[in-house]
Structure 1
């Protein structure tokens, strides 16, 4: 038999094998997407939710920071329309108000539970995991029903959903079904018996309702949290900010902090040794400042207990060129030293020190670049009603200037972090 004939025969067999396997693979994907789901019972939407459920639901909505995604700046609360940027395009948050035509008005409690627990919409379509049902699946049915009761009580707003702007094939239901078959399985919250009730409550808030892993977990090329990623840090889905590792004391881990300081940071946005800014400032402003002390203390207990990552010997970065350091020093003297001090010492309680600041030397320079370009602002909270802020310099500093001053910060006062180029600055959205 000639080589060409053998090649044709082999190709034919491969095509036949593929044709036979395709239906089986398709059936497997379908099964993996519906496993664990029960048929929805016949019921009608609640008309007058119990007041206790509404009050509890309002609290849970704050704890889950629903307003952060489902409210556009200046728009009606929870009416949707805000884009959630991902590497695959934008997903627009839907309307959560009880409008019959454009919101949740016709949804039943079981349909809402299915969306939160299984990631499936009222009409059966699969939901994109930009809506973090991968974390919400741990919520109890009682809590989900309370959230539903509250959402039924807010003013209805007629605001049609915006079409997602995802690239092909990520915009298709089959592609989403394959993703879910690979990376999602509906679950439930499991307590750890040897831990206290408070610790387990903190775990529930951090891993489930608070969905901290939505930002603080590293992701693979398809946007799924990496296996055993935990809260080990990673770039956020918009690619503009780095969510630092909560398991690493060298980044944002609080394992060595007094518990009261962790509670203070979550409650007010500032503590004696740290402050929040960027996306985390929004979380504190919209969510954690509204939680009661018991829940904040429970979260602090859980975060402090996270096993710290194994210590490794840091790789010392190559020093920047003398020209880059000189230019960075000039920019720092002109734009930064008046507040942060000539030696990066800062002013206690007002301007943070930059020398020895762990956020300055994180592996990713994203947040430092964003702060220089767009400013840094702690949230306004009851415990910190008039926070100091840092003005933006995007209009006065070029990419070369930003790169130089960020490099200067990362390689001065004993810092040994990597230099930053103007190209890196331009790529950070």
Structure 2
């Protein structure tokens, strides 16, 4: 009995030490709030700057429901752990952030903590926003206070499974996965590169989609923009550090600018979640910032020891599947994409040699065939061509056949699909 008592005492002591460590780690780089809110008077240029920065961060994309009041929150963000609802960011004092100070807003951005001290869920991407400067945080705060109409819309309660609905569990996650860290310029790089790094890795939070995640749902920062599945949505954000996926090292900077500004360029176009990013965010950025982002993205290192190109592999293909796929393609796809997969410049992308077609993961191809997709409507591409959905016309076997054909025709040499590939989506 005495030994059991000592064991329990030691266990309690250990848990106490661990709780203290978690508590301390959650206070890293967190300054105490001032006793009273400092007077905050924003100049019109600061409000305008905040409006622009909110576009860079695509804040309205998560904080505005379809047809709802701007920044009033309520968007359901599905995660593997349950549903998180975005909050009301309008200056309403009861439900929004009207009674927040600039220091409260900065703490949310930099430390991921709400006005009342609650830890925020990382569906709000503070692991990236922590890099935002206090000056830019204050500008966004000024815009939300003075450039947005107040809305009394109440905040929705998150619907998360146990134990993810507990602040204690979130505190442990943060202790393991989050370190507040301001952006530090790389002195060996030019100013334009550093500006691009600040935007891409900070406000634009590109890694939230283009980064891999661990079992706890945290982005693996050390792997950078190496590609990742977008949770629940069944899309894959391709690697920006792989020449076989979406690496941009051999693109001209202006081609990257065009893609971010209009949704299409001579080297490719966007669909799916990225189309929404271009529509809501990047098309509104100024030329200098777009060029800075292009400079940074173009310079991302391509890891050595890249996988062997598919063109050098021998892939066995089922003649029956290929024949069935060709029949479907000729009937439903060739009119736009050409009988040799050559596409139509400025309208329909080529499928022959297309990296999006040849990627190891066929997730995006399946999504596009089933649900269709359009490029974003932008000032530089106001009436984009699109892909109609074929969910009602093609069953799973048809999807397997036509995509296996496309991935193996006209010199393409990517692996065919299986029934399991389609059933999993």
Find the aligned partners of 1:49 and 1:111 in 2 and give their Cα distance.
16
3-state SS of 1:228 partner: helix
How far is 1:10 from its partner?
A: 8.8
- TM-score normalised to the size of structure 1? 0.94
Find the aligned partners of 1:406 and 1:395 in 2 and give their Cα distance.
16
CA contact (8 A) 1:84 1:238 kept: no
CA contact (8 A) 2:58 2:280 kept: yes
Find the aligned partners of 2:316 and 2:140 in 1 and give their Cα distance.
53
3-state SS of 2:392 partner: coil
CA contact (8 A) 1:46 1:152 kept: no
3-state SS of 2:49 partner: helix
1:356 aligned partner: 353
Find the aligned partners of 2:152 and 2:317 in 1 and give their Cα distance.
55
Residues 1:373 and 2:370 are matched in the alignment? yes
Find the aligned partners of 2:351 and 2:123 in 1 and give their Cα distance.
34
Find the aligned partners of 2:333 and 2:38 in 1 and give their Cα distance.
57
3-state SS of 1:34 partner: coil
CA contact (8 A) 1:49 1:152 kept: no
How far is 1:403 from its partner?
A: 2.3
CA contact (8 A) 1:70 1:93 kept: yes
- TM-score normalised to the size of structure 2? 0.95
3-state SS of 1:91 partner: strand
What are the within-5 Å matches in structure 2 for residues 14-413 of structure 1? 15-44=8-37, 49-153=42-146, 154-310=148-304, 311-314=306-309, 316=313, 318-413=315-410
**96-105 or 135-144: which moved more?**
96-105
CA contact (8 A) 1:317 1:417 kept: no
CA contact (8 A) 2:65 2:75 kept: yes
When residues 47 and 408 of structure 1 are mapped into structure 2, their CA distance, relative to the original with a 3 A threshold, is: same
CA contact (8 A) 1:45 1:107 kept: no
Find the aligned partners of 1:270 and 1:375 in 2 and give their Cα distance.
17
Give the aligned length: 421
**178-187 or 229-238: which moved more?**
229-238
Find the aligned partners of 1:56 and 1:256 in 2 and give their Cα distance.
33
Find the aligned partners of 2:151 and 2:41 in 1 and give their Cα distance.
18
1:5 aligned partner: none
3-state SS of 1:150 partner: helix
Find the aligned partners of 1:220 and 1:328 in 2 and give their Cα distance.
37
**373-382 or 314-323: which moved more?**
314-323
How far is 1:14 from its partner?
A: 5.6
How far is 1:187 from its partner?
A: 0.4
1:322-371 deviations in whole A, cap 9, x for unaligned?
Answer: 33223222221222111111121111111100010000111211111111
1:4 aligned partner: none
Find the aligned partners of 1:417 and 1:168 in 2 and give their Cα distance.
41
How far is 1:238 from its partner?
A: 2.5
The Cα RMSD (Å) is 1.9
